[in-house]
Structure formats: C-alpha cells, structure tokens
A and B are shown apart, each in its own frame.
Chain A
Amino acid sequence: MPTFFERRQLVTPGDLLAEGTYVTGENTYKENNKIYASRLGLVEYEDKKINVVALRAFYIPKLGDTVIGTIVEVGFSGWTLDISSPYLAILRASEVLSRPFRPQENDLAKVLDVGDLVIAKIMAYDRAHDPRLTVGEPGLGKITRGQVVKMTPTKIPRVIGRKGSMVSMIKQETGCHIILGQNGVILITGKSLKDEQLAMTALRKIECESHTSGLTDRISQMLKKEKAKQKEEIKNESKT
C-alpha cells in the first residue's frame, strides 16, 4: 500500500497518488484500487484519506454557505445573481421584502438593481436545480460600501488560516472588517480607503502564494512594514 508523493507536493491531474486501501478525498478518484489526482494541487494525507488541495477551482454551491453575488437580472418575482459559479443563483422577492410581495405595486429594480452586490446564504441547492439564496439573517443583504476582492474559492480556507489565524491577523493589523464569501469573493470594509487597500494587497499576496508555507508570518511582516511606511508619509506630509 504505497503512496507516491510527499505531503504538500505539487501534483497534476492523472498523477498516481496511492495504491491499496486508501480512501479518496477531495479532487481525487479511484480506479482499479489506485488513487489518482483529478486537479492540479497539493497533496494532503489525512490518515487513510488522500486529499488534493486544488490551486484553481470554481465554486460549487453548498447548503448554508455565505456567498457574495452580483445581480445580473431583475425578474418578475425575484433576482438572478452571479455567484462566480457555474450556476446562477436565484433570490426570491419574498425573501427580501418582509411584507407580502405584489408584482403590480413593488418595482423590484428599486430594491436591488443590476450590478448591486449582495451578501446571501445558500438556502437550497441540488444537482437538478439552481441554488436558492436567502438574506433573512443578520449581516446579510445589499452591500453599500467597501472593496471587493475575487479569488479562486479553494484559497478561501488559506485566507481564513488555521482556526482563523490569518483573517483575524489581517483584521487586527488593518482595522478592517472582512467578510469571506465561500464562493471566493471577499468584502473589505474599513475606516479609510488606505486601510482597505492595505488589506487588499495582503489578500492578493495570499492568493499568489497560497501554496507556500509560513505565509501568515510573512503577511504580518508585510502589513507592519506597510503601516510603518504610511505613518512616515503622514509625518512627512504634516511637516511640509
């Protein structure tokens, strides 16, 4: 029952990962008692389970996920949202308007228009139907301010870090509020544009270097350096 790759090694689709009594995890498949990778990514072993952490993937809706979507169409009884997934999501008007919805009286485009960003939760999804969204929980709804960063959804766990270490560190260092959509869209809201931009550069760095180790420390260092630079600039400006 050998395995053919070390932990965190880069594999390509079709690479033979293991033979024998191992169990397939994410992005792997089994054929003739052999386990192969199905995506480009890094191998992870979890007892007998073999996972490949993909470097590039797309978002497949999951019940209960928080996602950030863009409205692409206003319909008669609801909206269609792009949640950067192969499937378009549906948000029903009755979910957004608390009172009973009457198509003759309410103009839906006045509530949410094409291009608006919405934080929502996946309420229902299966193979045969497009995902249904809900905004009926605190913290969900239309986004009014902040910056949005998009990345491939498999990198979201890396942004969160172990027990949320990475994201809480960025929040602390930049003073920004960060909402992670499981679909790879991230919302940053801070006191000033500078704080937001700082958080954005940190996120971009994580995106590029997600497959390297010791990233949390490097990001923390980078943020501290940038902050020191900003302070100096402010000092210089006030002098002149």
Chain B
Amino acid sequence: MSQKPEKLIDKKGLRLDGRKPEELRSIKIEVGILPNADGSAYIQQGKNKILAGVYGPREMHPKHLARPDRTVLRCRYHMAPFSVQERKSPAPSRRDIELSKVIRESLQPAIFLEYYPRTGIDIFVEILQADGGTRCASITAASLALADAGIPMRDLVVACAAGKVDDTIVLDLMDTEDKKGGADVPVALMPNLNAITLLQMDGILTFEEFEKAVNLALKGCRKIYTMQKEALKAKYESVKEVEE
C-alpha cells in the first residue's frame, strides 16, 4: 500500500481506479437512517463510508457554554479504529480536532443560529471507512443530517475536493492520490447562494492551477448537490409512490 505506484495517471489519461481526471467516485447517499438521532445521513463516496448524526436544538450542557443570543453549534469528527489500514487510536487526535472545527465552520453560515437562543446543536460525524476526502464527504453528509433534523438552513452545504496528481488537475482525490499527489483543494459550497464556506489548500499550485482546481471542485460540488437533494427527497417520496 505504502509503495508509490510508478504513475498515478496512465498513458490513456486514466487514474489508479480507472477514473477520468474530471470524474467523481461513485456516490451513494441515504437520509434518516438513525432513528435515535433527530437527523442523520449516510454517505458512501468511493471507499469512504461515513455516518452523520444530528441532535438538537436542545438544552445546552454544560450550561455555561450556552449563548443568550444564539444556538451553539458543536461538531465531533471521529474516525473509527478500523477505518484505516493501520489501527487508529480512538482518542481524538490533533487532526480529528482540526477537522471537527473545519466541518463546524463550514456548516455554520448555513444555519440560522439566532433563531433558537440558549440551545445547542450537536453534530456527530463517524468515519467507518476512510479513503481520502473524508472532510468533504462529512460536510455533505452532516448538512443533510441537519436538514433531516428540521433545522432551518439558508442552503444545503456540499463539499468536494480537487487537486494535482502527476501535473494534472483532477477531481475528488482518493487516499493514494492525496498522499502521493501534488496538491489538494477541498471546497465547500452553498450552491443556491453561490457562497463558498470552506476553501483550503494543501500542497503547491501555481495561480492558474489553483483557479482551475477551484473551478473543477465547484463543478464537482454542483454534481454532488443534485444527488444530495435527491437523497433528501427520496425519504419522503417513497411514501408518495406507494400511495399512487
């Protein structure tokens, strides 16, 4: 696994898993699969398997963290010990804490926090299997879980990454591409408001490459957005079909 393949993109221009540079991994999304949570979603993006659960708005505990003017949004990103090749310690690592913050801050602008003062919303993101781009898939799933919980939102948030692999700008990097490639640019978007809520870059890109990567990631976001919307509607349309 750790050995670097000779080339990440072959002569035909295909990637390690046979994708074209501008192709997404196969995505499957389900909404409302955890009956105990107020809202939930599950996403499979390539080999990524991620569960997101949302609780709230509810009484804030500990109480001193509650704000008199708005809801407090909390997020926990956690990787299961079996989610990667080598066992990951279940204790929150530096990376887990950072990603929790990143996910929280990319979802925050979408929520009307001022509607429910003195309360808290908790988002739990559990990575069951990881294969690169988990922060993006987590944001996509968590925003669906929020909508499923009936929390008022300005827009859904959808995220996708683009990056540089063997001097080609590619969409939706998987683990090996992320680690051995040149750069990774995750982008989160509120598609209807056309607002970016997350933009990071890891690696080195020229200005032109960066612009190309961002635009490609945005294109990917919009593609995922249609799937996201369908998944959210599917929960209720299945009832409708039975009736007709």
Contacts and interface: CB of A to CB of B under 8 A. Distances in A.
A86 B155 contact: no
Contact of A152 (B118, B150, B156): B150
Given A13-B155, A39-B152, A39-B153, A211 B191 contact: no
Interface of B: 38-39, 56-59, 68, 110, 112, 116-119, 147-156, 190-193, 229, 232-233, 236-237, 239-240, 243
Q: Considering the complex of A and B, which 5 residue pairs feature the smallest CB-CB distances, nearest first?
A: A14-B155, A56-B150, A13-B153, A86-B57, A38-B152
Contacts of A218: 243
A197 interface: no
Contacts of B243: 209, 212, 218
Given A10-B236, A86-B57, A127 B117 contact: yes
- Main DSSP-derived SS at the B contact region: mixed
Nearest to A212: B243
- Main DSSP-derived SS at the A contact region: loop
B193 A14 contact: yes
A40 interface: yes
Contact of B239 (A36, A38, A208): A208
Interface in A55-95: 55-58, 60, 86-88
B55 to A, nearest CB: 11
Interface of A: 10, 12-16, 27, 29, 31, 36, 38-40, 54-58, 60, 86-88, 127-128, 152, 154, 208-209, 211-212, 218
Contact of B154 (A13, A40, A86, A87): A13
A208 B119 CA distance: 28
B240 A211 contact: yes
A14 B110 CA distance: 9
A38 B57 contact: no
B118 A212 contact: no
A87 B56 CA distance: 10
Contacts of A10: 233, 236-237
Nearest to A42: B236
Contacts of B151: 39
A13 B236 contact: no
Contact of B68 (A128, A152, A212): A128
Contact of B147 (A16, A31, A40, A88): A40
Contact of B59 (A87, A154, A211): A87
8 contacts: A12-B232, A14-B154, A14-B191, A27-B152, A39-B151, A40-B233, A54-B150, A154-B150
A22 B64 CA distance: 41
A29 B68 contact: no
